[in-house]
Chains A and B, each alone.
Chain A
Amino acid sequence: MKFLSLIFGNLRRKKLRTALTVLSIIVAFVLFGYLGAIRAAFLAGIDVAGADRLITRNKVSLINLMPMAHLAEIERVEGVDMAAHNTWFGGIYQEPSNFFAQIVVEPEALLELFPEYVVSEEDQRRWLATRTGVLIGRGLAERFEWSVGDKVPIMNPLWSQQGGDPNWVFDVAAIYDGAEQGVDTSQMFIRFDFFDEARSGGQGLVGWYTVRIDDPDRAAEVAVAIDQVFANSPDETKTEPEGAFIQGFANQMGNIGFIITSIVGAVFFTILLVAGNTMAYSVRERINELAVLKAVGFTDGGVLGLVLGESLVITVIGGGIGLALAWLMVSAGDPTGGALPVFFIPLRDLLLGVLLIFVLAFIAGIFPARMAQRLQVADALRR
């Protein structure tokens, strides 16, 4: 602490240069935090995906439907605990920009398979008793200010009702919360019995199966066994862990994680050069002063520590403000108005940000610090 006045004094020496360096670090960390939130939004669900859950879909494509009869055969595969079918509804609420996921499910199976969706017993009872009822996430309810009892009209160009009417009306019967941060609460779940009876075609066909297995360690083995059951049939399947399925879904838009990591990497490399350059100049222009410090008794290690301390102060101030600003911006909510339903900076990214602050400080400071450390007092005093 007693050296802080010396460290801050040196940083005040060239106020503009220090301010610009801090500013560039702030920008880098704002980008880091904000892009981290966007990446988390695109990959939402992977982290909370059940290790004991597999997804079985049509081998040709996710949009190809499969017979409901597969369910019984899947449940007979050794290692399978239970399975349930799901179907993409894909309707439009008022206008296409109000996009949110609507999935047709068997209510009892959904509640059992997905413990991360927390639904009160009262809401569960209400949903099970209402054929036109839907279960919606808290985020979705807040987005459109829906509450239990509201009627929600959905126009569906994919699935029309018998008679050709594309307009469906559902009753909000229950609302779920996420058991942890990262659970997608922007979805709507529609009861299959109502849907299957009302749709104009495709009865008995479903989109994909969620399969719960006994032993997560046997996931690969069970997935192969399921696919073998339907091999050489008209509806061959592809089974994979739920996390991989979600990742594949996100990758339809490109490898978001790689793209964002590349951008952040390039930004930090640039910032490293900026901060390193600042520190190098800072040391080079006061060789004489550093020699005086050594002359009055500062050790080589002490001088090394002082320079590293300056680097640390710059990055802690810049990185701290940057991460705080990113947090505030992300807290303001999804910038797309709904396309990124899970929008937050994961704790892992925040911790990584803090680690980056120290790594940046070290790498930017170590070379000038070593130069200061190696200074020969008598030589440097003559300069």
Chain B
Amino acid sequence: MSETAMAENPQPEDDLLVDVRGVDKVFKRGSETVHVLGGLDLQIPRGEFLALMGPSGSGKSTLLNLVGGLDRPTEGSITVGGQRIDKLSDRKLAGWRANHVGLVFQFYNLMPVLSARRNVELPLLLTKLSAKERRKRAELALEIVGLSHRLGHYPRQMSGGEQQRTGIARAIVTDPTLLLCDEPTGDLDRKSGDEILDLLQALNREQGKTIIMVTHDQLAADRATRTLHLDKGRLVTGMQGQGTG
């Protein structure tokens, strides 16, 4: 099954951004052992917009977390941009996330005590940029997502769609290689959801961002260039989406 994912998308090494090989992920809940992912292989080329679909508990979010360095596999290797991230120390992995990954969450996960600009600026606090430069970049990111008029607004003062766009601005402000989106439209109405998908598609097409998006929504998945389905921790099928080309 994982062979399907590989066979449909043979990629030259140079174009390969994410290389997941033989990954198992096991969770222990008390005395119970839960196999979430089993022997999973997945290759994602640069510039792809990949949708991951599957029923609840199929391992989509776990896979996303592993590729984003938020968790570690029980077995197997994960290489992103030529770097074996499963071998990095916690400290180095945090640094790698800061530089290479942008995360977009279903429930936005903005800091309620910070304005939109301050929220977007958060990842930049870990850089050596001056306060002026951080501010400039945060404002640029908010401009890209169409929120330059909401710089000083707090999350509670914004709609769900605006909060999610702020979340996307926070994800792209460090100009990461990889955007990981965990059900980015799951908490939005259709119109707002479409706007977010438009935005992700634009980031993929115009800025070449590689995007992995977990979704339950077939319409959202259709925006991707490729869709993979997971079931019980294994890839079961792959298909080209409308976003291709």
Contact = CB atoms under 8 A, between A and B. Distances in A.
A, B: real partners = yes
Interface of A: 2-3, 5-6, 9-10, 12-13, 288-289, 292-302, 376-378, 381-382
17 contacts: A2-B134, A3-B125, A6-B114, A9-B118, A13-B112, A292-B105, A292-B109, A293-B122, A294-B94, A296-B98, A296-B123, A302-B94, A377-B65, A378-B65, A378-B71, A381-B65, A381-B70
Contacts of B217: none
Interface in B85-127: 90-91, 94-95, 97-99, 103, 105, 109, 111-114, 118, 122-123, 125-126
Given A3-B125, A5-B118, A9-B118, A298 B94 contact: yes
Contacts of A288: 109
B126 A298 contact: yes
A298 B112 CA distance: 18
B71, B90, B94, B114 pick with most chain A CB within 10 angstroms: B94
Given A297-B126, A298-B94, 16 more contacts: A6-B114, A10-B113, A296-B97, A296-B103, A296-B126, A296-B170, A297-B98, A297-B99, A297-B123, A300-B91, A300-B94, A377-B71, A378-B62, A378-B65, A381-B70, A381-B105
B202 interface: no
B70 A289 contact: no
A12 B113 CA distance: 7
A378 B70 contact: yes
B131 interface: yes
A298 B91 CA distance: 9
Most buried by B among A10, A299, A302: A299
Given A293-B122, A297-B99, A5 B65 contact: no
Contact of B109 (A2, A289, A301): A289
B95 A297 contact: yes
Interface in B128-142: 131, 134
B113 A13 contact: yes
Contacts of A298: 94, 98, 126
Contacts of B61: 382
Contact of B103 (A3, A295, A302): A295
A2 B125 contact: yes
B167 to A, nearest CB: 10
A297 B65 CA distance: 14
Contacts of A2: 125, 131, 134
Interface residues of B, number: 28
Contact of A9 (B103, B113, B125, B131): B113
Interface in B21-72: 61-62, 65, 68, 70-71
A299 B122 contact: no
Contacts of A289: 109, 111
A294 B69 CA distance: 11
A297 B173 CA distance: 13
Contacts of A10: 113
Contacts of A5: 114, 118
Contact of B70 (A12, A293, A299, A377): A377
Contacts of A294: 94
Contacts of B95: 297, 299
Contacts of A293: 122
Contacts of A295: 68, 70, 97, 103
Contacts of A376: 71
A302 B122 CA distance: 13
Nearest to A13: B113
Contacts of B71: 376-378
Contacts of A378: 62, 65, 70-71
Nearest to B173: A296
B200 to A, nearest CB: 18
Nearest to A288: B109
A297 B100 CA distance: 10
Contacts of A301: 91
Nearest to A2: B125
Nearest to B124: A2
Nearest to A296: B123
B183 to A, nearest CB: 12
B12 to A, nearest CB: 30
B166 to A, nearest CB: 13
A10 B122 CA distance: 14
A293 B110 CA distance: 10
A9 B114 contact: yes
B88 to A, nearest CB: 12
Contacts of B114: 5-6, 9
Contacts of B68: 295
Nearest to A380: B70
Nearest to B27: A379
